[in-house]
Structure 1
Amino acid sequence: MPYTPSGFFCDRLIRERERRDGEGSLNKPLRFNGQDYNTLRQECSQRKSLFEDDSFPATVESLGFKELGHKSNKVKNIVWKRPKEICENPQFIVGGASRTDICQGDLGDCWLLAAIACLTLNEKLLYRVVPQEQSFSESYAGIFHFQFWRYGDWVDVVIDDRIPTFNNQLVFTKSAERNEFWSALLEKAYAKLHGSYEALKGGNTTEAMEDFTGGVTEFYEMKEAPKELYKIMKKALQRGSLMGCSIDALVPARYETRTVTGLVKGHAYSVTAVEECKASQHKESKVRLVRLRNPWGQVEWNGPWSDNSKEWATLSKAEKEKLQHQNAEDGEFWMSFEDFKKNYTKIEICNLTPDALEDDKIHKWTVSVNEGRWVRGCSAGGCRNYPDTFWTNPQYRLRLLEEDDDPEDNEVGCTFVVALMQKNRRKERKMGANLFTIGFAIYEVPKEMHGNKQHMQKDFFLLNSSKARCKSYINLREVSQRFRLSPGEYVIVPSTYEPHQEGEFILRVFSEKRNTSEEIENRIEADHPVPAPASAGEESEEDQQFRTIFQEIAGDDMEITANELKNVLNRVITKHKDLNTEGFSLESCRSMIALMDMDGTGRLNLQEFRHLWNKIKQWQGIFKHYNADQSGSINSYEMRNAVNDAGFRLNNQLYDIITMRYANENMNIDFDSFISCLVRLEAMFRAFQAFDQDGDGTIRLSVLEVRLNMSTLGLGLHSKILNRITPVSPKQ
């Protein structure tokens, strides 16, 4: 089994989104919870029984955890029923899936339903999410499935058809047709994906839009909207983009409150059409109209161009038919584009691919996806307001290689969209998780540093301002923005606003022309991984003292045990009051014995001890430098620099491991832990070089040898790593 220095020292979970044989693609989605729809359906048919989903059972746990949890009165009378128990002749889809099939129930998931309504406007998209040929007649087995885009992968979610009811009425999403159930089942599958129905309460329409398409969303605030917004909206719908809008509620208590015009604040709407028509009183100009839908299936705009307004009398019959005007309380209505801009505060457009909407041409953009995480005390450095830690955030090198074909306004450059998405926060709500406030900044890399893949250090960010950045840090699942920069190399730094906030994310970069983006990982190397021979020079006074102490404790055999090593070290270390340490623990000394024992005796002889002590003296000086306040500890961010000063260059995964292994609850590392960490690093590099006989930077070990050596070094080894290590060239 081949190993490189990078692979040998890596103890990070292997990325789940492996693309072996197209897994995670639309044609081969991942099986959520390992459930295969066809296999389960066939098993139920053979047993002549209806499917019951144990992974999302018909219990309170699937309803929620707080307002829909065990202690809530709301759930006491809820009964889970299959459609055939609710009505006669249930149908999956009646007369084609349409936006009137989505009516909100007793769950605050209008954001989701607004996205579903948009989805029905494009059959190709709809039937990606809602696979066809599902029914309550042919081969019915009480099992259905739906597909969603999930952080870079498409996943297939299997459910049974037991749905929450109250007095034989659906509690949550329902269709205007009592015997139609595709929208209710889609909502259930999405609830399963996030852990419960209650997890769907409150959200942003763009979140569901992206989960239905894998697209990328751009936001427009109406007060800052471009002059060509109408044209942008028109083209977006023509290209199959999903579009939603909302009216901000400044006071949270007034969320989802109806205004005198019939519009609802703090509520998500779908934009379902953008059209121009010629009214009789407008002889030379056309009236621009926008059609919207309220997911409630009722409560509509009552101003100009509403269902019963006088404006419709000015249109010809042909114009009315073109607009499909209906006078019905179905939640859908028209309004003028000018009234739309005056009343709504925000519009969101989810582009299936981030086409340049301002152009007449449809571009095929390229996308690169990077997965990462912020680790408390190590790589969760917060925003630029925290210069001491900002540089420790994950960094991604972006290479823009070609300029756009058709630059606008004679401006040359590369157009690209950066989208930063935090992962799993909705699913972890029941554990108290909320969305972090996130954002990113982009820095230009000086030409002399092109091709240098080293992690940018603190000084770089102190001396250089960002070339571009997101408009603001915000607590949304995803923050995205479009930029145009000159070809070259850049560094993207994604971060939470506050330091020490731990979570996972994906960073996507879309561009019209070729781009490459990858996480910056330092090459793993050490300055002096092999023990230096004992100096032949004169011993210092301190060396002489140690030899004397060593001889006193070691005895005639001139070897010491872990307990004796502890006594030797602490008799001197405790004299250094500026370290504010109680000395080394017995466990630390046992580790030192195991890691520095060259001849395998389980003890240290004088030469082995001398090498250890020389290293400790060197590392003690480094610790004192960062322990300027003489508190007896250094913080985990300073530890990165201290490790580097000690001659070790590590990657982000290893810094994460060091923090988790050695830092206390306050993210501080004391002297004992500091020395123990460096001793292990020293021994790890030495062990690798011992195996690397030909010096090519790659070694081959059996699985048994790997496990034995990792156990000796005190490292955990994830089983998946054994077959997934990519060879790299050693530093020359």
Structure 2
Amino acid sequence: MALPGVCMSILNARNTKNGYGTFAKPEPFLNQDYEQLKQYCLIQGVRFIDKMFPPDQRSIGGDVLKPADLSRVEWLRPAKLVPKPSFEVDGISRFDFGQGIVGNCWFLASIGSLTFQQQIFQQVVPLEQRFDEKYCGLFHFRFWRFGKWVDVVIDDKLPTINGQLIFVQSSDRTEFWPALLEKAYAKVCGSYSDMNSGTPDEALVDFTGGVHMCIELQDPPGDLWELMCRAGQSKSLMGCGTPQGDTAGNAVLPNGLVQGHAYAVTGVKQMMSNGTPVQLVRLWNPWGATEWNGAWSDESSLWQTVSPQNREMCLSKGDDGEFWMNLKDFCKFYSSLDICSLCPDFLDGNSSCHWKTAFYEGRWVAGTTAGGSMNNFDSFWTNPQYCFKIDELLSKCSTEQGEKNMLVSLMQKPDKRNRRLVQNLHIGFSVFEVTGEFKAQRGKFPAAFFRRNRPVAQSKSYKNAREVMAFFALKPGEYLIVPSTFSPNETASFILTIVSKGETHVQENSGGHGDVQHDIREPNPIKNGEEDEKKRTMFRQYSDMYEEVDAEKLQRLLNEHVLKGDMKSGGFSIDACRSMVALMDTSITGKLNDEEFVHLWNKVVGYKDVFFRSDVSQTGTLSLIELRNAITASGNTINDEILNLMALRYGASSGHITLESFISLILRFDRVNQIFRHLSNGKDMTLREPEWLYLSMYT
């Protein structure tokens, strides 16, 4: 049985801290360990069959083949297709393969770019894999997926019809690394069908885990050529795409380019043409055919205007899908360029200054930390916030005033394994400079800050894309980044990446509250001897012969004499009262004595007062935004992550918290904090198994 999500979150955080999820220690995808599986297969003398991505219709998906063709699919191992299969033959090249029937040109174009970077290629595709004496039908590949490296195992059963591969096909029928790599990525996406349609940046990032920059070619930066040259000289991968036509199909235009299609950028070169410098870009079509036929194409007469050396070096005639075009035509006929690199040094030409990269994982939760864009002033402040400081050292890395020194990327993480089911939200981010009175701000910046300040930088627009980014210049100072969805109350997880010159000090900014106009104070313990004696008298009317009350009697006491007419959901449930007894029971009898009961009564009355003071909308319930203020007013500090969990655990489907739910959650929060303080050293807590069971099964 799968572990609860909160437990997995803690384990993932610990694993990340211990280096798991890095390239050196990739996490086994779906908990399938390559070495253990291989050892088992070799000892047992069996061929591996992957139950997590079985060789059947589920792994193909429903949108690639017609039902009649789907029934004809036969999954065969390479040895059934050719007499002597090989993982790779005579090295790795973009010309090793061509696209099959699935619309994954974005993925294959990225592989074409990947073949130019041997070091990165071997990170993704371990080349020591062979069809030799240790062959057991098991292969593995590595991808960077949303913040961590994963190792993906597959069996080598490949889908065929009439003995022919139906997806990616190798130029040499005995070479199988392209088909196996495609199958591993299909497994990550959910199925082959889930690979239909996409953009190169997705695969480029998954191949590197590196810094990604997207350039809109309809409005390119002035230094586009210099940027592409630096990327070409560094360990970078580049891909691009043509605009979509009137239909969703890949129509071939008269100029030879394919609409709505992904290409790999395989080279950039400046050469002299009739004494004039010309900037050329080389591109590759993952179809392995169909090329540009305009200026600088294979048959263009312009090649006669360059030196014989350049012509011999660059011109390769043949319908292999690769061609040259000048930079102006490239920007005219392509819509976007994606550059992805292990090292962000390609961003500028200043090699004396190193770029630093930091990742932060967060989550928007409807009602608590999903405040929407700045169109929603009352809730925008509730979004996750990240403070950072740019010091003078960083600014010295810029050789010119206004030189760009920071790249910010916001990537949303899917909540579904199947890629085609993922519904990307419109996401973006804003950067604010922190000045004046707000420099002393502790906790979340309130709504007042955003009313008085406008962003100094931001993503160009809110896009329903996997990732949005912006590259900009900031002067030394203190800043605040706020990632958000366009609409409020949309739940999703995200990764915020900050790439900067020199050291930039970043921290998540949680806790605090917004502009609370009402007088909400921490509840003070009620120390009135006469009042307490009245409560004891009431208590004795319900207590047993040992002057104790159990959960059932406590339920009647609280509902009839404490909540009275303030109940919105029928009062405290019996389970809520059992929990209260366990939290307040100092003698472990399953009952409360009069002192424990009076202590609980006073707390409930105090929390009830906080509840109604926080209910500024006067609905008799707390919105999840009001919940944050109520928790702060109760004397507790809380970060966004815990607040999100509270909303999920105690909130109603309407997104509101009733009085009873609020009292239950705040009482538990208070008592669990006390337990930690008493059993820990203030930072960490270690429990033996019996202690953990003793504590968790009762409280």
| TM-score of the two chains, using structure 2 as the length reference | 0.89
Aligned to 2:324: 334
Aligned to 2:298: 307
Separation (CA, whole Å) in 2 of partners of 1:193 and 1:686: 43
Task: Report the Cα offset of residue 434 of structure 1.
Answer: 1.7
Aligned to 1:409: 400
Aligned to 2:696: 710
Equivalent in 100, 106, 109 of residue 104 of structure 2: 109
Separation (CA, whole Å) in 2 of partners of 1:491 and 1:710: 39
User: Does residue 387 of structure 2 align to residue 393 of structure 1?
Assistant: no
Matched to 1:375, the amino acid is V
Task: Report the Cα offset of residue 113 of structure 1.
Answer: 0.6
Within-5 A mapping of 1:167-186:
167-186=162-181
Does the C-alpha gap of structure 1 residues 250 and 499 become closer, same or farther in structure 2, counting only changes over 3 Å?
A: farther
Within-5 A mapping of 1:193-208:
193-208=188-203
Aligned to 1:80: 75
Separation (CA, whole Å) in 2 of partners of 1:242 and 1:699: 45
Query: In terms of mean alpha carbon deviation, does 642-651 or 391-400 score higher?
Result: 391-400
Does the C-alpha gap of structure 1 residues 381 and 62 become closer, same or farther in structure 2, counting only changes over 3 Å?
A: same
Does the C-alpha gap of structure 1 residues 206 and 426 become closer, same or farther in structure 2, counting only changes over 3 Å?
A: farther
Separation (CA, whole Å) in 1 of partners of 2:442 and 2:15: 24
Task: Report the Cα offset of residue 321 of structure 1.
Answer: 1.0
Task: Report the Cα offset of residue 510 of structure 1.
Answer: 1.6
Give per-residue Cα distances to partners, 1:411-469, cap 9 Å, x unaligned: 37x81222222224573346x33222222222333476668662334443344333322
Separation (CA, whole Å) in 2 of partners of 1:608 and 1:153: 48
Aligned to 2:658: 670
Does the C-alpha gap of structure 1 residues 363 and 108 become closer, same or farther in structure 2, counting only changes over 3 Å?
A: farther
Q: Residues 425 and 435 of structure 1 are in contact (CA less than 8 Å); yes or no, is this contact kept in structure 2? A: no
Query: In terms of mean alpha carbon deviation, does 332-341 or 559-568 score higher?
Result: 559-568
User: Does residue 206 of structure 2 align to residue 211 of structure 1?
Assistant: yes
User: Does residue 436 of structure 2 align to residue 474 of structure 1?
Assistant: no
Secondary structure in 1 matching 2:449:
helix
Give per-residue Cα distances to partners, 1:158-201, cap 9 Å, x unaligned: 22222111222211111223332211111111112222212211
Does the C-alpha gap of structure 1 residues 546 and 33 become closer, same or farther in structure 2, counting only changes over 3 Å?
A: closer
Within-5 A mapping of 1:447-466:
454-466=443-455
Aligned to 2:584: 596
Q: Residues 17 and 24 of structure 1 are in contact (CA less than 8 Å); yes or no, is this contact kept in structure 2? A: no
Aligned to 1:4: none
Q: Which runs of 5+ in 2 are unaligned?
A: 1-5, 513-520
Separation (CA, whole Å) in 2 of partners of 1:665 and 1:377: 11
Separation (CA, whole Å) in 1 of partners of 2:609 and 2:415: 42
Q: Residues 68 and 74 of structure 1 are in contact (CA less than 8 Å); yes or no, is this contact kept in structure 2? A: no
Separation (CA, whole Å) in 2 of partners of 1:588 and 1:38: 48
Aligned to 1:520: 509
Q: Residues 580 and 630 of structure 1 are in contact (CA less than 8 Å); yes or no, is this contact kept in structure 2? A: no
Query: In terms of mean alpha carbon deviation, does 375-384 or 55-64 score higher?
Result: 375-384
Does the C-alpha gap of structure 1 residues 360 and 701 become closer, same or farther in structure 2, counting only changes over 3 Å?
A: closer
Does the C-alpha gap of structure 1 residues 445 and 628 become closer, same or farther in structure 2, counting only changes over 3 Å?
A: closer
Task: Report the Cα offset of residue 691 of structure 1.
Answer: 4.9
Equivalent in 283, 286, 307 of residue 292 of structure 1: 283
Q: Residues 534 and 607 of structure 1 are in contact (CA less than 8 Å); yes or no, is this contact kept in structure 2? A: no
Q: CA RMSD in A?
A: 3.3
Q: Residues 353 and 364 of structure 1 are in contact (CA less than 8 Å); yes or no, is this contact kept in structure 2? A: no
Aligned to 1:724: none
User: Does residue 223 of structure 2 align to residue 228 of structure 1?
Assistant: yes
Query: In terms of mean alpha carbon deviation, does 473-482 or 39-48 score higher?
Result: 39-48
Secondary structure in 2 matching 1:399:
strand
Separation (CA, whole Å) in 2 of partners of 1:355 and 1:74: 49
Task: Report the Cα offset of residue 117 of structure 1.
Answer: 0.5
Within-5 A mapping of 1:685-704:
685-688=673-676, 691=679, 701-704=687-690
Matched residue count: 686
Aligned to 1:265: 259
Task: Report the Cα offset of residue 292 of structure 1.
Answer: 1.0
Q: Residues 370 and 518 of structure 1 are in contact (CA less than 8 Å); yes or no, is this contact kept in structure 2? A: no
Task: Report the Cα offset of residue 584 of structure 1.
Answer: 2.9
Task: Report the Cα offset of residue 111 of structure 1.
Answer: 0.5
Q: Residues 356 and 499 of structure 2 are in contact (CA less than 8 Å); yes or no, is this contact kept in structure 1? A: yes
Query: In terms of mean alpha carbon deviation, does 167-176 or 458-467 score higher?
Result: 458-467
Equivalent in 649, 653, 656 of residue 644 of structure 2: 656
Matched to 1:368, the amino acid is A
Separation (CA, whole Å) in 1 of partners of 2:677 and 2:40: 54
Give per-residue Cα distances to partners, 1:450-496, cap 9 Å, x unaligned: 68662334443344333322111212222222222223332322222
Separation (CA, whole Å) in 2 of partners of 1:615 and 1:603: 17
Matched to 1:109, the amino acid is N
Give per-residue Cα distances to partners, 1:636-693, cap 9 Å, x unaligned: 221111111121112233212211221111211111111222222333344445557x
Does the C-alpha gap of structure 1 residues 685 and 274 become closer, same or farther in structure 2, counting only changes over 3 Å?
A: closer
Separation (CA, whole Å) in 2 of partners of 1:175 and 1:618: 72
Does the C-alpha gap of structure 1 residues 155 and 445 become closer, same or farther in structure 2, counting only changes over 3 Å?
A: same
Q: Residues 11 and 654 of structure 1 are in contact (CA less than 8 Å); yes or no, is this contact kept in structure 2? A: no
Separation (CA, whole Å) in 1 of partners of 2:14 and 2:589: 45
Give per-residue Cα distances to partners, 1:508-542, cap 9 Å, x unaligned: 2222201233333449xxx989x947324x54xxx
Separation (CA, whole Å) in 2 of partners of 1:426 and 1:464: 37
Matched to 1:710, the amino acid is S
Query: In terms of mean alpha carbon deviation, does 83-92 or 19-28 score higher?
Result: 19-28
Equivalent in 89, 97, 105 of residue 92 of structure 2: 97
User: Does residue 3 of structure 2 align to residue 15 of structure 1?
Assistant: no
Give per-residue Cα distances to partners, 1:69-109, cap 9 Å, x unaligned: 9x944421111112222234333223321111231111111
Separation (CA, whole Å) in 2 of partners of 1:115 and 1:305: 23
Secondary structure in 2 matching 1:649:
coil
Aligned to 1:534: 527
Does the C-alpha gap of structure 1 residues 568 and 133 become closer, same or farther in structure 2, counting only changes over 3 Å?
A: closer
Q: Residues 195 and 419 of structure 2 are in contact (CA less than 8 Å); yes or no, is this contact kept in structure 1? A: no
Q: Which runs of 5+ in 1 are unaligned?
A: 1-8, 714-732
Aligned to 1:241: 236
Matched to 2:624, the amino acid is S
Structure of greater relative contact order (alpha carbons < 8 Å, 6+ residues apart):
1
Matched to 1:261, the amino acid is N
Equivalent in 567, 572, 575 of residue 584 of structure 1: 572
Aligned to 1:277: 271
User: Does residue 410 of structure 2 align to residue 420 of structure 1?
Assistant: yes
Separation (CA, whole Å) in 2 of partners of 1:633 and 1:109: 49
Separation (CA, whole Å) in 2 of partners of 1:142 and 1:37: 12
Aligned to 1:726: none
Separation (CA, whole Å) in 1 of partners of 2:352 and 2:255: 38
Aligned to 1:439: 428
Within-5 A mapping of 1:51-62:
51-62=48-59
Identity %: 39
Does the C-alpha gap of structure 1 residues 158 and 691 become closer, same or farther in structure 2, counting only changes over 3 Å?
A: closer
Separation (CA, whole Å) in 1 of partners of 2:396 and 2:607: 55
Separation (CA, whole Å) in 2 of partners of 1:608 and 1:411: 65
Aligned to 2:340: 350
Separation (CA, whole Å) in 1 of partners of 2:202 and 2:493: 16
Q: Residues 146 and 156 of structure 1 are in contact (CA less than 8 Å); yes or no, is this contact kept in structure 2? A: yes
Q: Residues 525 and 603 of structure 2 are in contact (CA less than 8 Å); yes or no, is this contact kept in structure 1? A: no
Does the C-alpha gap of structure 1 residues 528 and 498 become closer, same or farther in structure 2, counting only changes over 3 Å?
A: closer
Aligned to 1:136: 131
User: Does residue 406 of structure 2 align to residue 384 of structure 1?
Assistant: no
